Amino acid sequence: MNNKKITVGCDHAGFGLKKIVITHLEERGFEVLDVGTHSTDSCDYPKIAHELCKSIQNGTTELGILICGTGIGMSMAANKHRGIRAAACSDTFSARLTRVHNDANVLCFGERVVGVGLALDLVDAFIDAEFEGGKHQRRVDMITQIEASESSL
């Protein structure tokens, strides 16, 4: 990954892990854009997912990380955004392959699902992997076509 800038967001259920993830990313030399939330007060994860997706859509960052209780709500909300390919992962194989094969640009996971060690391994697997292109590009293009046709219905 050339761009050493990454957006990170969480809801109240992911707040503790988000702080650890940000420290880890900064130690690895990344500039982190933190779109909140900033406390454990209850909040709505789709709003945070929306803020993070905007930062990718407007070109501020290429990749994002979203943390909630399970990672699932965040991924559902993120995947409603044009050009966003979000993957909820709780194993490093999937976190790596979703970059290599799916050109995923958002990694989601759950603080109630993964521990700190695995969370940081997920982050590293995701950001250190590169999209392979080739036949995988054709398939990603098909996802984009579905997205375009759906939005014109």
Name the segment binding ligand RB5 (CB under 6 A); options: 20-28, 29-37, 63-71, 78-86: 63-71
Contacts of 117 (CB under 8 A, 6+ apart): none
Residue 87 touches ligand RB5, criterion: CB under 6 A:
no
Structure tokens at 35: 């779109």
Q: Please identify which residue in 1, 20, 72, 140 interacts with ligand RB5, judged by CB under 6 A.
A: 72
Instruction: State the catalytic residue, choosing from 10, 53, 68, 108.
Output: 68
Residue 68 is among the residues annotated as catalytic for this protein: yes
Name the segment binding ligand RB5 (CB under 6 A); options: 23-31, 46-54, 67-75, 114-122: 67-75
Residues in the interface with ligand RB5 (CB under 6 A) total 9
Q: Please identify which residue in 30, 45, 109, 126 interacts with ligand RB5, judged by CB under 6 A.
A: 45
Q: Please identify which residue in 6, 8, 13, 86 interacts with ligand RB5, judged by CB under 6 A.
A: 13
Residue 81 is among the residues annotated as catalytic for this protein: no
| Binding site residues, ligand RB5, CB under 6 A | 11, 13, 45, 68-70, 72-73, 110
Residues annotated catalytic, as ranges: 68, 101
